[in-house]
Every structure is written in C-alpha cells, then in structure tokens.
Structure 1
Amino acid sequence: MIRVVLADDEAMIRAGVRAILATDEGVEVVAEARDGREAVELTRAHRPDVVLLDIRMPHLDGLSAAAEVRATMPEVAVVMLTTFDEDEYVARALDEGASGFLLKAADPRELIIGVRAVADGGAYLSPRIARKVIARLGGRLARAGTARGRVESLTPREREVLALVGRGMPNQDIGRALFLSEGTVKAHVSAILQRLGVNNRVQAAIIAYEAGLVGTDT
C-alpha cells in the first residue's frame, strides 16, 4: 500500500485529489494538511511514502515544506502540485529534491501514475509541464553544453536507461524493460547522474526531454 500525505490550502482541491487516488486500491491518503507547516508535521507523524505539496500555501509554502521534508525525512518522496503560472518555482523545487511535478488540471490518471512512479523510487514530470519546464530550465541545466551533447557522452545502454528515467519509470520497471537486474539499473542511473552533472532523477529527466529522448506531445 502506498501511503500519501496530501497538502493543499483549498478544500475542493484536496477532495478532488483524494477522490482520484481512492480509485487505486493500492494508494491510501493517510492525512490531509491545509498549509505547509501542517504538512511537515503530518509527514513526520505518519511517515508516508509520498507527500503531495501544493506550491502556494500559507504559513509555510510548499517549496519550504519540501526542503524540510527532504532534509529530515529523505525516505519520503516529494511531489509538487503546480499550475502553469507557477513554473518559475520549478528550479527551486528541483534543488529541494522534489521527485515529481504534477499539473492540477491534468488527466487524473497522471496523478496515480506519478504517485506510483515516485513511490517506487522513480521520477515523474507531467508531459504538459515538461514543455514549460524545459523552456525555463534549458539554459540552466545545459550550462556545461547542450543537452544533446551531454547525452552523447553516455554509453548506448546509459542513453536507453536515461530515456526510461525521463518517462518516470522506477529502477525495477527499467530493469524489466531492458532485461537488466535492478542493481545494474541502479549503477547505470548513478553513472548517468554523475556524467550529466545533475543531482537527481528529475533533473536527468529534463535533460532526457531536452535531448529528444522523450517526447512532450502526450
């Protein structure tokens, strides 16, 4: 069972997200928070697999809450709930260790896919957000050269793994897709992060989008 703490200051959004997650028998919302401070407290109390954080919340915003969760409870995956006009915050969220970005107005299936992906150790970028994220962060993440050039430094197998990381797949699923052990995939991912000069799978996923390894038209 994937246990989730949900944080949003709008009751209607919380009710909608809870209803969507309830359609998956393998996901359970264990607590709801109305602000960032409460989100951190409930995450500390329940130790969920995933915490879903709205970016704009009172008392403590979602980005600050994400930083506190990642610093004190690194085993909890953080997913940011965002809208298009909040894309300027994505760079900071990446630095705070967020594992996913979901658009509130996206297809409800994306919410479940994203939660499952990060709970399994993967990363997830909503495809509709990816176009905006790439536009905002392209220069920032490609400061050592173009994304395509950086990807060319990878081995063919590493490029295959990176493409699947870009699709939000966890190590176990990547292993099944490429007929590799989970340990081998983990070693490839570590090497990819080091070669690309990034800190986490979401940053690697963005480079995969930039380099054309993953489409953004879905």
Structure 2
Amino acid sequence: MTYGFLGYPVSQAADILFCRANLVPVGEDQLPHVEVTRFVARRFNELYGEVFPEPRAMVSEISRLIGLDGNTKMSKSLGNAIYLKDDPAEIKKKVMSAVTDPARIHKTDPGHPEICTIFAYHKAFNSSEVPEIESSCRKGTIGCVACKKNLIGRLEETLAPIRERRARFDKPGVVEDILFEGTKRAIKAGEETMGMAREAMHTDYWKES
C-alpha cells in the first residue's frame, strides 16, 4: 500500500484545516472525510491546545441527483447529466428524453412519483409545486410530457443566471487573475495557521523574537 493511498484522508483534512474552516460544503459521499477531519482537529487540540475549529459539513437538502436515465447518480462518464452551462435547447432535449415511471403507459394512468426521475428533479428545482405535482401524478391528471415541460421552465430559471455569470468570466486572463488572488489569500491563511500550530507544539524554532 502506498502512502498516497494511506495518507489521502490526512491530505484531505489538511485542505480543510489549513484555513481553519468552520463549514465545508460537500456531497453526501464526502461526509466520512469531514468526520476524519473533525477527528484530526479534535485530537490536535487535545494534545496541544485549541488551534483548529471542528468543521461541520454543509449538505444541501437534496444532496444527490439521480441521472436522467434513472441511474443512482448523475455522471459525466455515463452521459446522464445536465450541466450548468447547458443552453435551453440542450436542457429541453435532455429532459424530454429522461426516464419516468415505466409502469405509466397512458396519461390517465396513476403514477408513482417516488420512482420517477423527473419528480426527483422537481423536488430539487421546483419545491413549491411538489405537493400539487405529486397529487396530480398519483391521480393521473397530469401527463409525463406536461410534467417535463414544467420542469424545463424551472431549470431554465435556475440555470440562466449561472450561464450569464459564466459568460462574464469567459475572457482571457480573468479566471487566471481570480485564481492568482485566491492563491495568495490561501497561502497567507496557511502560513498563519502553521504559525499557530508550531507555536502550540513549541516547534516554532525560527520564529523572530
């Protein structure tokens, strides 16, 4: 076993602790890594004094979206994802081809929203209409096509501002400048944290008096 594999959790913890983060936005699958980070912070503080806050995971209410093909997870490699950069035509094409309730043959057939991909997306992007959509689906008073068209509108409302903001950064040098400034801030934060850690461990031998 290589140290790269064995030490990966420590490396991930360092990515969080170097800036003394309190909140870490993560997906559900990353919760174990945040727990390891909390353990590392807690153990260090027990041994040397309070230096690191114990970060908490910030997980959205809808922490994972299933793929458009009904697969358990959206994935670029599986080609079952909607991207933040997708234009209206691409969104429409993807949503209209998405898997729905396979047992629902006719529009008036009672649906089962709990197994429908489109309903899962409504819960993420159209929460205010979820009770009505669920009821109409179960009663067979709304068809899958109408349900998909409704979702397309809600997705466009969400993604249009993101595309516009993305376009503002689509200029040579802009992203590089942002990354450069962010790197400087990160280095400064890391140096401050390392100074605190060394002082707590009494290993700040080269500290200027």
Q: Please indicate, yes or no, whether the TM-score normalized by the shorter chain is above 0.5.
A: no
TM-score w.r.t. length of structure 2 = 0.25
Which TM-score applies when normalising by structure 1?
0.24
Larger Rg over CA atoms: 2
* More strand by percentage: 1
The structure, 1 or 2, with the larger RCO (C-alpha pairs under 8 Å, 6+ apart) is 2
